[in-house]
Amino acid sequence: MLAQQTRVQDTLANSLDYLLEGCQIISFDFRYLYVNTTVAKQGKSSKKELLGHTMMEMYPGIEKTEFFAKLRDCMINRKLSVIENEFIFPDGSKKWFELRIEPVPEGVIIFSIDINAKKATETKLRKTYLQDEVILESIGEGLIVTDQYGKTTMINRAAQEMLGYIPEEVLGQQVITWLSMQDESGHTILNRDRPLSLVLNQSKPLMNITSYYIRKNKDRFPVNITITPIIIEGKLTGIIEVFRDISKEKAIDKAKTEFVSVASHALRTPLGIAKWYLEAISGEKYLHDAPDILINYLDEIYKNNERLLVLVRNLLSVSRIDQGKIKDVPKKIDVIEHIKLIVKDMQIAALKDHVSIILTIKHTDFPPLYIDPLRFREVLENLITNAIKYDTKNKPVEVIVDKKTNLLSISVKDQGIGISEEDKKKIFSKFFRAEKAISNNTEGSGLGLYVTKSYVEGWNGSITLLSKENKGSTFTIHLPIAPIPKT
Amino acid sequence: MKKKQIIIAEDEPAYRNLLKTKLIDEGYDVITVINGEELMTNLKKNTPQLILLDLIMPLKNGFQVLEELKKIKDLKKVPVMAITNLGQDEEINKAKSLGIDDYLIKSDESFYDVIRKIKKLLSKL
């Protein structure tokens, strides 16, 4: 029995000796009673040097450390404790250990694990984290972070300043409960329609959304918002929202729009006067004996004056669109008859440019369309005028009316210079003119398609473009065939 | 036969003179005034067959003139043609609701179309 016990003890001691964890037994007078190989290595010493000596002898100053205090505590109170301790060696070097100090009859047993690498990583991470936090805190954009349920987990300083909340008021709260959002006309946006909810539901980012936020003091201000989902290992864990106050941009834009509006009105008077006088000159007998060159020159002046008038008219339309002042006066129209009429009127202009217009009606059975006839005309005229203008080879322009999935589609197709892939992206923006359009010396203000698109979208329609350089372009507007509202 | 009388209320001399010259040439009796107030004073002495009314004028604008005309029994029936550079829907609708007979936008209409329309309107009287 005793032999068996001794064998077990030997085996145990042997196992302890080669344990990867450090193991040491310390007597009540702080002497090393037992140390395994790992501890000797951890202590930058040897079993021989340590055994029988006190800790204070081996590591002077150890009695002042937190580790020593825990050790003493364990000896007195006989309670287990686990600590992370940075050990300072006599040569001044330092190393982190996780220590489990347990009472044993001889004193205490200490198991030690070298956690230096872990600590170094932790320190590095902490540093990165702090650095990130400083960056996020100091950016000018407002920043709100939420968890996957939309609860606020971070709000940076800029967001606090813009919205008027302090972190204590919002952390842990659903963003939608403390931050209210409105549209342009002041209507509160429903929670389910809010970009934040959409991103949380669909895990897809939303960029550059313009909306209005309500400050704590109930003021509202325009914002540009970008929300990105945080996806870790394929799972949505929250969102990051970055937003900025765009009050200044809005104010500048408004001032600009108003300026354009006032300037265009002011420009119309002198241009209109010049127009009438030029018409009066050509209409009367003054020019009967005039040389051709004078008539040509007057014609040139007149044409350019008309050009300016068109530009001013478009500028006014744009400024009114931007001011949200465009009001449709819809009327019930027979769409096919209307298109026929517009095309007929445009034929005359087209013939001057030696271009013919072919009208193809693939579908005739449309209910009456409820639309502003003047704007509808403006849209078609814009598209047809463009087609004629950019149709440099004098090939016919085609207007095709069709019905596709309950939408009325009107296509205007030319075989002209076409639009490059790069320019397609910007073709509907304000003041944009395609590279080729400019180099071909065609006149234009870069406003027609912007106005066209704005109108069509105002009718819940859309406009699409198919184009190939040097082959031609097809602009198609799609309009819902809606029943006439009862008035 | 007595010439038909037209009063042109227009603050812009270039427009005023061109219209006057042409309409006299067409055989009308033309009176010109340069603002709304002057127009109202003149209407106390004359009852023209047609008023050509600019809408933006000093002292009294065209809309104010239209409001006042509606209240004067003898003048209620005189046709008024707006000749203006205001071309927005709300302006046109406002003028129409005040009883305007025709609305012409100067920079959109050709000079001869304007003259044609004036003559047509007067020929009906």
The complex's ipTM works out to 0.90
At residue A371, the 3 state secondary structure works out as strand
| Mean pLDDT lowest among A43-47, A298-302, A427-431, A475-479 | A427-431
Does the distance separating the beta carbons of A272 and B107 come in below 8 Å?
Answer: yes
H or E segment and range at residue A165 = none
pLDDT score recorded for residue A445: 66
Average pLDDT over chain A, rounded to whole?
86
Rounded average pLDDT over A20-27: 91
pLDDT score recorded for residue A437: 65
Contacts of B90 in chain A (CB under 8 A): 327
* B110 close to A (CB below 8 A): yes
CB atoms within 10 A of CB A224: 16
| A126: pLDDT strictly greater than 50 | yes
For A271, name the nearest residue in chain B, comparing CA atoms only: B107
| A114: pLDDT strictly greater than 80 | yes
Of A468, A473, A422, nearest in space to A449 by CA: A473
Does the distance separating the beta carbons of B111 and A283 come in below 8 Å?
Answer: yes
Distance of residue B43 Cα from the nearest chain A Cα, in angstroms: 27
> In chain B, what is the greatest distance between 2 CA atoms, to the nearest angstrom?
41
Task: Extract the tokens encoding A347.
Answer: 């034929």
pLDDT score recorded for residue A30: 92
Distances (CA, A) of A467 to A412, A418, A475: 12, 6, 8
CB atoms within 10 A of CB A296: 10
For B19, name the nearest residue in chain A, comparing CA atoms only: A276
Supply the angle between the helices B62-71 and B36-45 in degrees, to the nearest 10. Answer: 30
> For testing the chain B interface, which of A276, A284, A315 should be mutated: the one with the most B CBs within 10 Å?
A276
pLDDT score recorded for residue A438: 63
pLDDT over 90 percentage in chain A: 33
Rounded average pLDDT over A378-399: 84
Contacts of B116 in chain A (CB under 8 A): none
Rounded average pLDDT over A142-166: 94
| A120: pLDDT strictly greater than 70 | yes
Measure CB to CB from residue B111 to each of A268, A276, A329 and give the nearest one: A276
| A98: pLDDT strictly greater than 90 | yes
Does the distance separating the beta carbons of A309 and B85 come in below 8 Å?
Answer: no
Residues of chain B with pLDDT under 70: 1
**Residue of A394 and A151 predicted with greater confidence:** A151
pLDDT score recorded for residue A486: 40
pLDDT over 70 percentage in chain A: 93
pLDDT band at A487 (very low <50, low <70, confident <90, very high): very low
* B97 close to A (CB below 8 A): no
Phi, psi of A427 (to 5 degrees): -60, -25
For B110, name the nearest residue in chain A, comparing CA atoms only: A276
pLDDT over 90 percentage in chain B: 32
| A483: pLDDT strictly greater than 60 | no
Which of A81-95, A244-258, A353-367 is modeled with the greatest confidence? A81-95
Measure CB to CB from residue B85 to each of A272, A277, A283 and give the nearest one: A272
Measure CB to CB from residue A279 to each of B12, B89, B111 and give the nearest one: B111
Distances (CA, A) of A114 to A50, A124, A133, A202, A424: 19, 17, 30, 45, 63
CA atoms of A24 and A51, how far apart (whole Å): 10
pLDDT score recorded for residue A273: 93
Measure CB to CB from residue A272 to each of B90, B106, B112 and give the nearest one: B106
Contacts of A327 in chain B (CB under 8 A): 89-90
Whether B81 and B64 have beta carbons less than 8 Å apart is answered as no
| A484: pLDDT strictly greater than 50 | no
